[in-house]
Amino acid sequence: MNHALETLRDEVFARNPGEAEFHQAVSEVFEALDPVMERHPQYVEAGVLHRLCEPERQIIFRVPWIDDNGVVQVNRGFRVEFNSALGPYKGGLRFHPSVYLGIIKFLGFEQIFKNSLTGMPIGGGKGGSDFDPAGKSDREIMRFCQSFMTELHRHIGEHTDVPAGDIGVGGREIGYMFGQYKRLTNRFEAGVLTGKGLTWGGSLVRTEATGYGAVMFADSMLKTRGESMDGQQVLISGSGNVAIYAAEKAASLGATVLTASDSAGYIVDPDGLDLDLLKQIKEVERARVSEYVERKGGRARYVAGGSVWDVEGTVALPCATQNELDESAAKTLLGNGVKAVAEGANMPCTEAATRLFLDAKTLFGPGKAANAGGVATSALEMQQNASRDSWNFEYTHDRLEAIMRDIHDRCVETAEEYGTPGNYVAGANIAGFIKVADAMIAQGVV
């Protein structure tokens, strides 16, 4: 990294103290941009990076609600509207006790480049709350979501900011928030939220899109080396929406999916996961993955604690949360002969782990490229809402596949153009940045 970029990075860190995840996301982008700044001095002159690292708007608000015992609870809500050069802010809402401003800023910053890579007209933003949905009743979830939207509604809209789901926010939560938005605004503005139910403006494939997209990206990477997902032994972390549908897509392409996990431990099934059983446990019953082994029997086993990355496999798909796959886990995976890693979650690999994969020339798809399928399909949902249309599964799936293939190919071409062939991290960051930077210059200093 050249001196000017180092200086700016240090300034960003100083202006945003204690926000480790945001610092990590900024560092990854900056490390890729040396050749870009050298070749395109107009980006330096226009202060593009200075502006890109400062959100256009940061909103923090109180979320009071009453639990089932009649006790008043107070959480903190966030929405960081990071960059609107390409379109309305677009990015999910995360409900999890780990959420604080630094997490939301890291996610929003990543979202700028991810959304740029999709080729769709959407800017970058993110939001959420430190509310924990685990163990809450449906009525508590509803009351919280209504209180959250009572404040958030004044900052969003289909031409301004379009939230979606993320960790802790699925169809149930989106439904409660949409209902409250409709009540407050007296408008059925379908395009204000994505991830909606199919009967009231949602899109087919949206549920599957992030997991499907990550596997499509991994398959495209493998094909550059004459292989495919067919016959691969796949390791997946997590057991939420992304993990389940990554497993489904991998299995449909001929892979054997061996693992899934939650915060308590992980399961290993050498015969391949029974996805119908896993869906019943996680999507219907909202139970722990340990239930899988008790019901499946056979060779399936459960490991309390530990690391899912200790299992031998050829393809790794981290689909849980940020920084879940560290340097030690990366060394284990490499020692076991992993061929490809595609990030289904946002920044699930630490900086040290990513460096090890890149140094080993292992195929490595960063989250801003590999997990872009979710937001791409959200943009397709916005298109359907705008035209009062509804597309069938096959058409939407084909659109998603074309988008993921295009993202993969642009990462490859851009990495080659800027002297780092095969480096998907550099390719994704540079390709995503250039499109946003050009738009920012065209629109003036705003």
Q: Which residues are catalytic?
A: 126
In 84-167, DSSP assigns E strands to 89-95, 123-129, 161-165
What is the spatial distance between Cα 386 and Cα 373, in angstroms, rounded to a whole number?
20
> What angle separates helix 424-442 from helix 393-417, to the nearest 10 degrees?
90
378 labelled binding-site residue: yes
Count Cβ neighbours within 10 Å for each residue of 306-343 and write b for 16 or more, e otherwise: ebbbbbebbbbbbbbbbbbbbeebbebbbebebbbbbb
Q: Which helix (H) or strand (E) holds 363?
A: strand 363-365
Question: 260: part of which helix (H) or strand (E)?
Answer: strand 259-262
Residue 229 DSSP label:
S
The two beta strands, 89-95 and 301-304, are unpaired
Is 210 among the annotated ligand-binding positions? yes
Q: Is 98 annotated as a binding residue?
A: no
Distance (Å, whole) CA 237 – CA 228: 20
Phi and psi angles of residue 217, each rounded to the nearest 5 degrees, phi first: -65, -45
- For residue 223, say whether it is annotated as part of any ligand binding site: no
Helix (H, G, I), strand (E, B) or coil at 328: helix
End-to-end CA gap in the chain: 27
In sequence order, the 6+-apart residues with CB closer than 8 A to the CB of 183 are none
Between helices 393-417 and 101-118, what is the axis angle to 10°? 90
Annotated binding site: 90, 111, 114, 165, 210, 241, 378
Annotated binding site for NAD(+): 210, 241
Annotated binding site for substrate: 90, 111, 114, 165, 378
